[in-house]
Chain A
Amino acid sequence: MYEKDGEKYFVVDGHTHFWDASPENWVPGQEQYAKGWIECFHAYQSLGPPETHWSIEQFQKYPEDMMMRHLFEEGHVDVAIFQPTYLKQWYRNGFNTTEVNAALAERHPGKFVVNTRWDPRAGDEGLKELADNVARWGCKGVKLYTAEWRGDSRGWSLKSPEAARYLEKCQELGVKNIHVHKGPTIWPLDKDAFDVADVDFAATNFPELNFIVEHVGLPRIEDFCFMATQEPNVYAGLAVVVGGLMHSRPRFFAKVMGELMFWLGEDKLLFGADYAIWEPRWQVEGFVDWNMPTDAEFADYGQLSTQAKKKILGLNAARLYDIKVPAELDLPVPAGPEGAEPLAAPASI
């Protein structure tokens, strides 16, 4: 919980990791990829305030007590959602797996939501693993990384029939939140790997599932916005937007927030700190303090209300994940499309 100027914010960090990218975990022969991956993440951290930067050694592997402190003691987070990223082709025990995340979560009851993942290229075996993970840890969400390498394959699409089988399975198991993270590779490699058309396709075919596009589709924010405005079950994960832009490029941050508010609205945006790339504290405090600049360049955009900030920082994710919000931290009218003001209707302008 974060309190500022008499307002209390229930904080759900929608995107967190407990990873191991230390050299001991690199797969022999794949070292350059394992190293390249974590160095790439580490460079993103440089976009946050200098006093929050870590050494690469610290960043490769960090202790549990430090994570707990950064999130819950210093970071104002009430509940954090683990989003696994396996990358077993490069990391022997995986980069950030359901098992490791869940073990940490079990040691700290009530603090975490454990999401799992799947890869449609894993066939029937993967379907069984999904069902087992859901049975064991009660997962209500999955994190999908379409650019993951598997053997010679450089990625996959949500449009594939194999992916549809997994989405059907999610529906059957009550795994209703599908987080999608796009990366630089896909099959075939000549297509734009960041294209969100496959999310659009899946969201239309599976209206009972929620699709949360991580990093708001960066670097295709525009395609994401045009798609999301037409799909009632598509949400934006703000990881990278807040961490990567709010401090380093505040004017772009303001414009991106303005666009997201215009096309999606305050009920569809979910905060995520993307730990350990960025610590939540400066992001939560900065976001609560943040206001849309008032100069002419930003005249098209409205201010974010305190209510909107409360929804984005936690109440929207709490609704998707059935997380109980203490009454004094909730809105007088519960968050959700029923209780919200009507959205701007872009098609009608």
Chain B
Amino acid sequence: MTGVATDQAAALTAAVWSALHQVRDPELDEAVTDLGFVAGCQVSDSGKAVVRLRLPTYFCAPNFAFLMVADAFDAVAAVPGVRRAEVVLEDHFASNEINGGIAARAGFVQSFDGQAVAELHELRADFLRKAVMAGTDRVCRPLLSAGATVEELAGLTLGEVPPSADRERLRSRRAELGLPASDDDPLLVDAATGAAIGAHALPLHLRRAQTTRVSVDANAGVCRGLLQERYRTTEEKGQ
């Protein structure tokens, strides 16, 4: 093994990690890297990437799991220099179906023969709409705390909101759903239709956005706690 080849492998590994950072748990709307779902990532000198994913429980829903593994495969396979990608989900009741389906580039219906009737586009869109609602709370809450009125919010465009990571995250989720997402588009839109939310409907809209964020955050908190417990070492568990 030459030093040059090893450097290449290290650089590729970093690139693969960076690609995985763009892969999200669809339900929690957070990067799989931040959630601790990447158990291992190795790239050989010949450009073969092997990524191992793990989840908080053995029984995490198989449809979200499939989306995540498929997204991870697409992201890793697209990294320049990766000649072959292998992404596997470990320790899950449906590992065989999911890993087999991903390796064969089969869809969800084919991977879960007889159990599913459609691919997962609608499920993904449902989660994106939740991400838009939770993101709306993240962006609007600081504005309201700073004294903005509901009427003022109703008149704002995305571009008029002070730049922030939360604003760009919201914009990106809206764009993924095909909703208006440019600087000139309204800050507050219906997550299903993209129509602007008028001042009269805004209090309820914001209330729902808040509840959605609380729900996603609480769920992510439980998931993090379960993952931490599941992958503590035996010594740490005192057994």
Contact = CB atoms under 8 A, between A and B. Distances in A.
A218 B120 CA distance: 21
B192 to A, nearest CB: 13
A184 B208 contact: no
A342 interface: no
B199 interface: no
Contacts of A40: 57-59, 226
A131 interface: no
Contact of B215 (A183, A221, A248): A221
Interface stretch (A78-86, A169-177, A252-260, A282-290): A252-260
A346 B208 CA distance: 10
A43 B130 contact: no
A263 interface: yes
Interface string A243-265: 01100110011011011001100
B218 A36 contact: no
A191 B123 contact: yes
A244 B222 contact: yes
A241 to B, nearest CB: 8
Given A55-B239, A346-B204, A219 B225 contact: no
B221 A252 contact: yes
B155 interface: no
A249 B225 contact: yes
Contacts of A262: 207, 211
A300 interface: yes
Given A43-B229, A55-B239, A154 B218 contact: no
A47 interface: yes
A109 B116 CA distance: 46
Given A189-B112, A263-B211, A44 B218 contact: no
Contacts, number: 132
B60 interface: yes
B141 to A, nearest CB: 9
B74 interface: no
A226 B211 contact: yes
A291 interface: no
A257 to B, nearest CB: 10
Nearest to A218: B219
Contacts of A258: 214
A189 B62 contact: yes
Contacts of A248: 221, 225
Nearest to B112: A189
B226 A221 contact: no
Given A55-B239, A154-B115, A190-B116, A349 B207 contact: yes
A296 B215 contact: no
Contacts of B119: 190
Contact of A190 (B108, B208, B211, B230): B108
Interface in A202-227: 218-222, 225-226
Given A190-B116, A190-B119, A184 B211 contact: no
B217 interface: yes
A221 B216 CA distance: 8
A46 B215 contact: no
Interface in B15-37: 27
Given A43-B229, A193-B61, A188 B221 contact: no
Contact of B217 (A191, A192, A193, A252): A252
A201 interface: no
Interface of B: 27, 56-63, 93, 108-109, 112, 114-120, 122-123, 126, 130, 133, 145, 203-204, 207-208, 210-212, 214-219, 221-222, 225-226, 228-230, 239
29 contacts: A32-B93, A36-B59, A36-B93, A40-B59, A43-B230, A47-B222, A47-B225, A55-B239, A152-B114, A185-B61, A188-B117, A189-B63, A189-B112, A190-B120, A193-B61, A221-B218, A221-B219, A222-B133, A222-B208, A222-B215, A226-B208, A226-B211, A240-B222, A252-B214, A252-B221, A255-B214, A256-B218, A262-B207, A262-B211
